[in-house]
């Protein structure tokens, strides 16, 4: 496998794993989990192709919900689980796994630190949400008695439980590779060209009095270019989702900042008004 560390903004990056060892359809569907995933994906695609009806409605709204799942979770899910056999093989062969990144954006000495953060910062959240999903399954299971329409809440909780478990597994795998020093950061000239318009935003200006403002580093079209140049078509969806989420987050932060600023201005005006009124009383 090969890892990619792709900055989305000056403070957030997408971790993506390309599974180089998966080459055939039979290898992808060798386990019952893979077969279940493939079957569910086929059904989901079929529902999305319906012209109308409840299946199309569920598909459209379900895709909107999937779009809101944090891109950090999707990134960890791209990392294969650390099975006992894989752990033994990776440790025994002592093969270092390449981490491709744009050195014009992320200094090489920060790569492993960024990976450590991405693999640990959401562990508690995924564990908590996994428990909530498992606990919720028996509570919504009785809804299966409703005819025609499947038990959507139950299947959603099953999906979320699987998603959190997969993210935890990916996190565990990355931490294992870090602890065993099996990761090899490799600056990518290709990524550097694609990120050429950004000049080392991770560096803090010497005279800066506070943290630098976060800014977006990619557009959807640029994400498409990265997936195309790297010849990883599925990466485009991950980058598209990440860009969309970060853009929405930054827009929300800007709105909140504008509201706070407006409140501060109003408070100053009010204070000045009170002072002016007091001065007028004194003059009288």
Residue 283 lies in a domain: no
Of residues 53 and 78, more confidence is placed in 78
Residue 209 lies in a domain: no
Of residues 173 and 212, more confidence is placed in 173
Greatest mean pLDDT range, 22-26, 150-154, 164-168: 164-168
- Predicted local confidence at residue 89, as pLDDT: 74
Q: pTM of the full predicted structure? A: 0.77
Residue 279 lies in a domain: no
- Predicted local confidence at residue 133, as pLDDT: 94
Which has the minimum average pLDDT: 50-54, 139-143, 173-177, 216-220?
50-54
- Predicted local confidence at residue 37, as pLDDT: 59
CA dist 127 and 111 (Å) reads: 25
Under 8 Å between Cβ of 185 and 112: yes
- Predicted local confidence at residue 252, as pLDDT: 87
What digits encode the pLDDT tens for the residues 41-57? Answer: 666 556 566 667 666 76
Under 8 Å between Cβ of 80 and 86: yes
- Predicted local confidence at residue 255, as pLDDT: 85
- Predicted local confidence at residue 82, as pLDDT: 84
Residue 236 lies in a domain: yes
Token pair 């993506």 is at which residue? 16
Question: How many domains, the chain?
Answer: 1
Residue 208 lies in a domain: no
Residue 257 has pLDDT above 60, yes or no: yes
Angle subtended at Cα 213 by Cα 106 and Cα 205, rounded to the nearest 5 degrees: 65
* Residue 108's pLDDT band (cuts 50, 70, 90): very high
Share of the chain above pLDDT 70, in %: 72
Residue 57 lies in a domain: yes
Mean of all residue pLDDT scores within the chain: 81
Residue 272 lies in a domain: no
- Predicted local confidence at residue 230, as pLDDT: 93
CB neighbours (10 Å) of residue 164?
Answer: 24
Under 8 Å between Cβ of 241 and 74: yes
CA 209 from chain center: how many Å? 30
* Residue 70's pLDDT band (cuts 50, 70, 90): very high
Residue 23 has pLDDT above 60, yes or no: no
DSSP of 96-145: PEEEEE-TTTS-HHHHHHHHHHHHHTTHHHHHHHHHHHHHHHHHHGGGGG
Greatest mean pLDDT range, 75-84, 105-114, 192-201: 105-114
Domain assignment of residue 184, given as a range: 2-203+214-258
Residue 28 lies in a domain: yes
**Which distant-in-sequence residues (6+ apart) come within 8 Å of 235 by Cβ?**
4, 16, 18, 223, 226, 227
Which has the minimum average pLDDT: 68-77, 142-151, 180-189?
142-151
């Amino acid at each position: 496998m090969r890892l990619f560390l792709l900055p989305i903004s000056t403070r957030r990056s997408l971790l993506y794993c390309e599974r180089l060892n998966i080459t055939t359809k039979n290898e992808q569907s060798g386990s019952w989990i893979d077969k279940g995933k493939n079957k569910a994906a086929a059904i989901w695609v079929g529902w999305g192709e319906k012209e109308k009806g409840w299946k199309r409605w569920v598909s459209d709204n379900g895709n909107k919900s999937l779009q809101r799942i944090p891109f950090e979770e999707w990134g960890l899910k791209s990392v294969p689980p650390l099975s006992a056999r894989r752990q033994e093989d990776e440790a025994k062969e002592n093969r270092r796994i390449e981490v491709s990144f744009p050195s014009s954006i992320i200094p090489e000495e920060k790569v492993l630190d960024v990976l450590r953060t991405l693999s640990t910062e959401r562990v508690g959240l995924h564990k908590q949400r996994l428990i909530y999903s498992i606990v919720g399954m028996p509570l919504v299971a009785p809804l299966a008695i409703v005819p025609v329409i499947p038990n959507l809440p139950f299947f959603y909780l099953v999906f979320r439980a699987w998603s959190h478990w997969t993210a935890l597994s990916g996190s565990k795998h990355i931490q294992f590779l870090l602890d065993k020093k099996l990761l090899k950061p490799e600056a990518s000239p290709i990524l550097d060209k694609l990120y050429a318009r950004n000049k080392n935003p991770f560096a803090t200006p010497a005279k800066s009095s506070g943290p630098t403002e976060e800014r977006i580093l990619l557009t959807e079209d640029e994400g498409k270019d990265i997936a195309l140049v790297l010849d990883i078509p599925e990466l485009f969806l991950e980058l598209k989702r990440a860009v969309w989420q970060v853009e929405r987050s930054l827009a929300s932060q800007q709105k909140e900042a504008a509201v706070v600023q407006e409140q501060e201005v109003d408070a100053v005006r009010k204070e000045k008004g009170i002072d002016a009124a007091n001065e007028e009383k004194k003059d009288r």
